[in-house]
Amino acid sequence: MNKENAITVKDLTKTFGAFTAVNNISFEVGKGEVFGFLGANGAGKTTAMKMLIGILKPTSGIATVANFDVISHAEDVKKSIGYMSQRFSLYNDLTIKENITFFGGIYGLKKADIKVKTKELIEELGLHDEANKLVGALPLGWKQKVAFSVSLLHNPQIIFLDEPTGGVDPITRRQFWEMIYREAHRGKTIFVTTHYMDEAEYCDRVSIMVEGKIEALDTPKNLKTLYKVDTMNQVFLKLARNIE
Protein backbone atom coordinates (compact mmCIF):
# COMPACT_ATOMS: atom_id res chain seq x y z
CA MET A 1 0.00 0.00 0.00
CA ASN A 2 1.53 3.25 -1.15
CA LYS A 3 -0.75 5.70 0.54
CA GLU A 4 -0.38 6.56 4.18
CA ASN A 5 -1.02 3.70 6.61
CA ALA A 6 -3.37 3.96 9.57
CA ILE A 7 -2.15 0.69 11.03
CA THR A 8 1.17 -1.08 10.48
CA VAL A 9 1.78 -4.46 12.06
CA LYS A 10 5.09 -6.28 11.77
CA ASP A 11 5.82 -9.77 13.17
CA LEU A 12 3.40 -9.24 16.03
CA THR A 13 3.33 -12.14 18.49
CA LYS A 14 1.64 -12.81 21.81
CA THR A 15 2.19 -15.90 23.90
CA PHE A 16 0.47 -16.95 27.12
CA GLY A 17 2.79 -19.51 28.73
CA ALA A 18 3.31 -22.26 26.18
CA PHE A 19 0.34 -21.12 24.08
CA THR A 20 0.90 -18.80 21.13
CA ALA A 21 -2.31 -16.82 20.68
CA VAL A 22 -0.97 -14.53 17.94
CA ASN A 23 1.80 -15.95 15.83
CA ASN A 24 4.00 -13.52 13.97
CA ILE A 25 1.38 -11.57 12.05
CA SER A 26 2.14 -8.70 9.67
CA PHE A 27 -0.24 -6.44 7.75
CA GLU A 28 -1.03 -2.85 6.91
CA VAL A 29 -4.29 -0.95 6.87
CA GLY A 30 -4.50 2.13 4.67
CA LYS A 31 -6.05 5.40 5.75
CA GLY A 32 -9.79 5.47 5.02
CA GLU A 33 -9.93 1.73 4.46
CA VAL A 34 -12.67 -0.57 5.78
CA PHE A 35 -10.66 -3.55 6.96
CA GLY A 36 -12.42 -6.76 7.98
CA PHE A 37 -10.58 -8.84 10.57
CA LEU A 38 -12.07 -12.34 10.42
CA GLY A 39 -11.39 -15.65 12.05
CA ALA A 40 -12.98 -18.52 13.93
CA ASN A 41 -13.63 -18.28 17.67
CA GLY A 42 -10.29 -18.75 19.39
CA ALA A 43 -8.22 -17.87 16.30
CA GLY A 44 -6.59 -14.95 18.11
CA LYS A 45 -8.59 -11.97 16.82
CA THR A 46 -9.40 -10.50 20.21
CA THR A 47 -5.82 -10.85 21.44
CA ALA A 48 -4.51 -9.14 18.31
CA MET A 49 -7.06 -6.37 18.63
CA LYS A 50 -6.21 -5.81 22.29
CA MET A 51 -2.58 -5.26 21.32
CA LEU A 52 -3.56 -2.79 18.61
CA ILE A 53 -5.68 -0.67 20.96
CA GLY A 54 -2.88 -0.51 23.49
CA ILE A 55 -4.30 -2.57 26.33
CA LEU A 56 -2.20 -5.72 25.94
CA LYS A 57 1.57 -5.80 25.59
CA PRO A 58 2.91 -7.83 22.64
CA THR A 59 5.46 -10.54 23.40
CA SER A 60 7.41 -9.48 20.32
CA GLY A 61 7.00 -7.55 17.12
CA ILE A 62 5.95 -4.01 16.31
CA ALA A 63 2.62 -2.33 15.76
CA THR A 64 1.97 1.29 14.89
CA VAL A 65 -1.54 2.72 15.13
CA ALA A 66 -2.22 6.31 14.00
CA ASN A 67 1.56 6.75 13.84
CA PHE A 68 2.03 5.80 17.49
CA ASP A 69 3.89 2.75 18.69
CA VAL A 70 1.48 0.57 20.68
CA ILE A 71 4.11 -0.28 23.29
CA SER A 72 5.91 2.99 23.95
CA HIS A 73 2.94 5.28 23.20
CA ALA A 74 -0.06 3.23 24.31
CA GLU A 75 -1.79 6.27 25.82
CA ASP A 76 -1.49 8.25 22.59
CA VAL A 77 -2.89 5.29 20.69
CA LYS A 78 -5.93 5.21 22.98
CA LYS A 79 -6.58 8.91 22.39
CA SER A 80 -6.42 8.49 18.62
CA ILE A 81 -8.82 5.63 18.29
CA GLY A 82 -12.47 4.86 18.89
CA TYR A 83 -13.50 1.43 20.17
CA MET A 84 -16.79 -0.33 20.51
CA SER A 85 -17.59 -3.95 21.22
CA GLN A 86 -20.68 -6.05 21.33
CA ARG A 87 -20.26 -6.78 24.99
CA PHE A 88 -19.67 -3.45 26.67
CA SER A 89 -20.93 -0.38 24.97
CA LEU A 90 -23.02 1.97 27.07
CA TYR A 91 -24.46 2.29 30.57
CA ASN A 92 -27.95 0.81 30.53
CA ASP A 93 -29.19 2.84 33.47
CA LEU A 94 -28.14 6.20 32.07
CA THR A 95 -30.17 7.96 29.38
CA ILE A 96 -28.79 8.43 25.86
CA LYS A 97 -27.96 12.05 26.68
CA GLU A 98 -26.27 11.11 29.95
CA ASN A 99 -24.18 8.45 28.21
CA ILE A 100 -22.99 10.97 25.64
CA THR A 101 -22.14 13.50 28.35
CA PHE A 102 -20.34 10.86 30.39
CA PHE A 103 -18.22 9.53 27.55
CA GLY A 104 -17.59 13.05 26.25
CA GLY A 105 -16.19 13.86 29.68
CA ILE A 106 -14.05 10.71 29.71
CA TYR A 107 -12.64 11.65 26.31
CA GLY A 108 -11.76 15.08 27.70
CA LEU A 109 -14.18 17.14 25.63
CA LYS A 110 -15.09 20.61 26.88
CA LYS A 111 -18.61 21.10 28.27
CA ALA A 112 -19.62 23.40 25.42
CA ASP A 113 -18.35 20.91 22.85
CA ILE A 114 -20.24 18.09 24.50
CA LYS A 115 -23.44 20.11 24.20
CA VAL A 116 -22.88 20.69 20.49
CA LYS A 117 -21.87 17.08 19.85
CA THR A 118 -24.87 15.73 21.77
CA LYS A 119 -27.24 17.77 19.62
CA GLU A 120 -25.48 16.72 16.41
CA LEU A 121 -25.44 13.08 17.32
CA ILE A 122 -29.08 12.89 18.35
CA GLU A 123 -30.04 14.70 15.17
CA GLU A 124 -28.01 12.40 12.95
CA LEU A 125 -29.50 9.29 14.57
CA GLY A 126 -33.01 10.72 14.58
CA LEU A 127 -33.39 10.01 18.30
CA HIS A 128 -35.13 13.18 19.54
CA ASP A 129 -37.92 11.28 21.24
CA GLU A 130 -35.58 8.78 22.86
CA ALA A 131 -32.83 11.14 24.03
CA ASN A 132 -34.02 11.14 27.63
CA LYS A 133 -34.84 7.47 27.77
CA LEU A 134 -32.65 4.92 29.52
CA VAL A 135 -30.31 3.14 27.14
CA GLY A 136 -31.41 -0.18 28.65
CA ALA A 137 -34.88 0.35 27.18
CA LEU A 138 -33.60 0.66 23.59
CA PRO A 139 -33.56 -2.22 21.11
CA LEU A 140 -30.09 -3.69 20.66
CA GLY A 141 -29.72 -2.26 17.15
CA TRP A 142 -30.31 1.27 18.40
CA LYS A 143 -27.93 0.77 21.31
CA GLN A 144 -25.24 -0.28 18.87
CA LYS A 145 -25.85 2.75 16.65
CA VAL A 146 -25.59 5.07 19.66
CA ALA A 147 -22.47 3.24 20.86
CA PHE A 148 -20.86 3.66 17.47
CA SER A 149 -21.60 7.39 17.49
CA VAL A 150 -20.25 7.68 21.03
CA SER A 151 -17.02 5.99 19.96
CA LEU A 152 -16.63 8.86 17.45
CA LEU A 153 -17.11 11.68 19.98
CA HIS A 154 -13.43 12.58 20.26
CA ASN A 155 -13.00 12.54 16.50
CA PRO A 156 -10.65 9.54 16.35
CA GLN A 157 -8.89 8.69 13.11
CA ILE A 158 -9.31 4.95 13.47
CA ILE A 159 -12.31 3.05 14.78
CA PHE A 160 -12.10 -0.51 16.10
CA LEU A 161 -15.39 -2.41 16.04
CA ASP A 162 -15.54 -5.83 17.71
CA GLU A 163 -18.58 -7.74 16.40
CA PRO A 164 -20.72 -4.61 16.40
CA THR A 165 -23.77 -6.22 14.76
CA GLY A 166 -24.12 -9.60 16.54
CA GLY A 167 -27.82 -10.38 17.06
CA VAL A 168 -28.96 -7.09 15.52
CA ASP A 169 -32.02 -7.24 13.22
CA PRO A 170 -31.31 -7.32 9.47
CA ILE A 171 -32.51 -3.83 8.65
CA THR A 172 -30.69 -2.12 11.52
CA ARG A 173 -27.62 -4.19 10.72
CA ARG A 174 -27.60 -2.61 7.26
CA GLN A 175 -28.20 0.87 8.62
CA PHE A 176 -25.21 0.28 10.87
CA TRP A 177 -23.06 -0.55 7.87
CA GLU A 178 -24.27 2.60 6.12
CA MET A 179 -22.92 4.52 9.14
CA ILE A 180 -19.61 2.69 8.74
CA TYR A 181 -19.47 3.56 5.04
CA ARG A 182 -20.24 7.18 5.81
CA GLU A 183 -17.38 7.44 8.28
CA ALA A 184 -14.99 5.71 5.86
CA HIS A 185 -16.11 8.20 3.25
CA ARG A 186 -15.18 11.00 5.65
CA GLY A 187 -11.68 9.55 5.79
CA LYS A 188 -11.87 7.46 8.95
CA THR A 189 -10.22 4.06 9.02
CA ILE A 190 -12.44 1.19 10.11
CA PHE A 191 -11.11 -2.03 11.64
CA VAL A 192 -13.99 -4.44 12.14
CA THR A 193 -14.60 -8.06 13.20
CA THR A 194 -17.78 -9.94 12.35
CA HIS A 195 -19.25 -13.42 12.07
CA TYR A 196 -21.65 -12.33 9.33
CA MET A 197 -19.90 -13.27 6.12
CA ASP A 198 -22.12 -11.01 4.00
CA GLU A 199 -20.63 -8.15 6.00
CA ALA A 200 -17.16 -9.33 5.05
CA GLU A 201 -18.15 -8.51 1.47
CA TYR A 202 -18.67 -4.86 2.46
CA CYS A 203 -15.02 -4.47 3.47
CA ASP A 204 -12.34 -3.07 1.18
CA ARG A 205 -10.00 -5.85 2.29
CA VAL A 206 -10.32 -8.71 4.73
CA SER A 207 -7.86 -10.88 6.59
CA ILE A 208 -8.69 -14.33 7.89
CA MET A 209 -6.91 -15.54 11.00
CA VAL A 210 -6.44 -19.25 11.58
CA GLU A 211 -4.75 -20.54 14.72
CA GLY A 212 -2.92 -17.32 15.46
CA LYS A 213 -1.72 -16.67 11.91
CA ILE A 214 -3.09 -14.60 9.08
CA GLU A 215 -3.90 -17.21 6.47
CA ALA A 216 -5.36 -14.91 3.82
CA LEU A 217 -5.49 -11.18 3.18
CA ASP A 218 -6.96 -9.50 0.12
CA THR A 219 -10.07 -7.87 -1.31
CA PRO A 220 -13.19 -10.06 -1.05
CA LYS A 221 -13.23 -10.28 -4.82
CA ASN A 222 -9.65 -11.55 -5.07
CA LEU A 223 -10.18 -14.04 -2.25
CA LYS A 224 -13.22 -15.49 -3.97
CA THR A 225 -11.27 -15.79 -7.20
CA LEU A 226 -8.29 -17.33 -5.44
CA TYR A 227 -10.38 -20.00 -3.70
CA LYS A 228 -12.67 -20.45 -6.72
CA VAL A 229 -15.91 -19.87 -4.79
CA ASP A 230 -18.87 -17.48 -5.00
CA THR A 231 -19.19 -16.12 -1.49
CA MET A 232 -17.00 -15.06 1.42
CA ASN A 233 -18.80 -17.65 3.53
CA GLN A 234 -17.32 -20.37 1.33
CA VAL A 235 -13.88 -18.76 1.53
CA PHE A 236 -14.18 -18.78 5.29
CA LEU A 237 -15.33 -22.41 5.47
CA LYS A 238 -12.41 -23.45 3.25
CA LEU A 239 -9.83 -21.68 5.38
CA ALA A 240 -10.92 -21.63 8.95
CA ARG A 241 -10.55 -24.86 10.78
CA ASN A 242 -12.05 -25.50 14.11
CA ILE A 243 -9.17 -25.63 16.58
CA GLU A 244 -11.04 -27.64 19.20
Residues forming contacts to another protein in the complex (CB under 8 A) are: 39-43, 86, 139-141, 163, 166-172, 174, 177-178, 181-182, 184-185, 195-198, 201-202, 220-221, 231-233, 236-237, 240-242, 244
* Nearest residue (CB) to another protein, 52 versus 184: 184
Least distance to another protein from the beta carbon of 148, Å?
16
* 8 A C-beta contact, residue 56 and residue 50: yes
Least distance to another protein from the beta carbon of 206, Å?
12
* 8 A C-beta contact, residue 58 and residue 11: no
Least distance to another protein from the beta carbon of 127, Å?
17
Least distance to another protein from the beta carbon of 78, Å?
25
* Nearest residue (CB) to another protein, 27 versus 176: 176
Least distance to another protein from the beta carbon of 202, Å?
6
CB-facing half-sphere around the CA of 77: CA atoms within 13 A: 24
* Nearest residue (CB) to another protein, 86 versus 118: 86
Cα distance between residue 58 and residue 63, in whole Å: 9
Q: In Å, what is the CA distance from 234 to each residue of 1, 37, 45, 166, 206?
A: 27, 16, 20, 20, 14
Please give the angle made by the CA atoms of 8, 152 and 43, to the nearest 5 degrees: 45
* Nearest residue (CB) to another protein, 8 versus 233: 233
* 8 A C-beta contact, residue 82 and residue 158: yes
* Nearest residue (CB) to another protein, 140 versus 152: 140
